[in-house]
Structure formats: C-alpha cells, structure tokens
Amino acid sequence: MTTAISLTPAVPARSAAVTGLAWVFIGFSGLIMSLVTLPLLPGEALVASLGVETGSGGLTGGVAWLIESSRTLASLLLLGAAITLALSVALLQRRRWARRAFVTLMAAGFVGVLGGAALTPLTFGFMAEAADSMAGLEDPVAGLIGALAVLILFATVSVVLFAWAIWKLTTPDVRAEFDRTPVAAEA
C-alpha cells in the first residue's frame, strides 16, 4: 500500500471571526462615509435633517457648529473611513500586511476612544447651558445624563471591540492564516 504525500502546505481555514470583523468595519466605514457626505447637501438640509436649532446654545448647537463649520474634521473623518475601508477589504482578502496594519488601526482606535472618554467629564460643564435650552422638558439634567451614559456605553463597547480585535488578530491561528499566501496559478 502506498500513501500519497502532498508537497503543498495545507492552507489554514479562513476564520469566521476575521471575516466578520472585516465586514463589520466595511459596514462601519461605509456608514461614516455616507454621514460625512451629508454636509455636501445643498443649503441647510443637514441641519434640518438633524432637527438642530442653530441658535440653541446647548450641546446640539455645538454639534451644529461642528457640522456646519468644520470641513477639516469632515475631511479627516472621510480619510479615516477610507483607510478603514481599504484595510477591511485587505483583511477580508487575507493580505499579509493587512493584519498588522489593522492591529495598528485598532490600537489607535483604542487610544482615541480612551482619550475621548477622558474628555467626557467636560460635558458636564455644558449642562447648565444645555439645561436652559431644554427648559420645556420636565427634567433636562436627567436627559443629559442619559445621553452621557449612552456615550460612555458606546465608548466601552468600542474599546472592548478594539481590544478583542487586537487579541484575535495576534493569535497563532490567525497569524498562520495570513502568513500563507496562495501562489497564483501560472497562465
């Protein structure tokens, strides 16, 4: 009896976690890119779509100012979303360099979200002004605290996702998945 020996190394199976991670960030970057293009709508369409009163003076007025006045921020968001989209597609294709680049992107996101969370207490400085603009509400401070809680929850989920992605992309199985690139067939 003879046993056939294969001379080609076995290509590891594609992990569902990496594929899912890539698709989540493809969707996320697509969403960001579509939201960033909203300021390109004619006139005051963006402000009207958000239901923001331009002279409100509260947190929504600050958001309106950022959206109306900050083309630099929009350009940076668009650039970041385009980079994330390109890296996510490369991750989906299991490009060797994409794993390291995506780990770097996740580490930057981790640090960025933690830095943003550190600035969250500054939001309380705007509470008196925002509470005045929400005078018609029964308990405006409770609404602002609820919004702050949602922001903190979003930051926590983001940090956990980034940390998990870094861990998953550095496991031996996933590294092996990216280290073996199939050789293209000769034409």
CB atoms within 10 A of CB 116: 13
User: Higher pLDDT residue, 104 or 187?
Assistant: 104
Q: For residues 98-114, give the mean pLDDT.
A: 89
C-beta separation of 27 from 90 below 8 A? no
Task: Look at residue 142 in the predicted model and tell me its pLDDT.
Answer: 66
- The model's pTM is 0.65
Distance CA 136, CA 121 (A): 25
Q: For residues 180-186, give the mean pLDDT.
A: 50
Residue (of 113, 125, 126) closest to 152 by Cα position: 113
pLDDT tens per residue, range 12-61: 578 888 999 999 999 999 998 888 887 666 555 555 555 545 444 444 55
Distance of CA 45 to the CA centre of its chain: 25
User: Higher pLDDT residue, 42 or 104?
Assistant: 104
C-beta separation of 153 from 104 below 8 A? no
C-beta separation of 169 from 99 below 8 A? yes
**Orientation of helix 16-36 relative to helix 71-92, angle to 10°:** 160
Task: Look at residue 168 in the predicted model and tell me its pLDDT.
Answer: 92
Task: Look at residue 120 in the predicted model and tell me its pLDDT.
Answer: 63
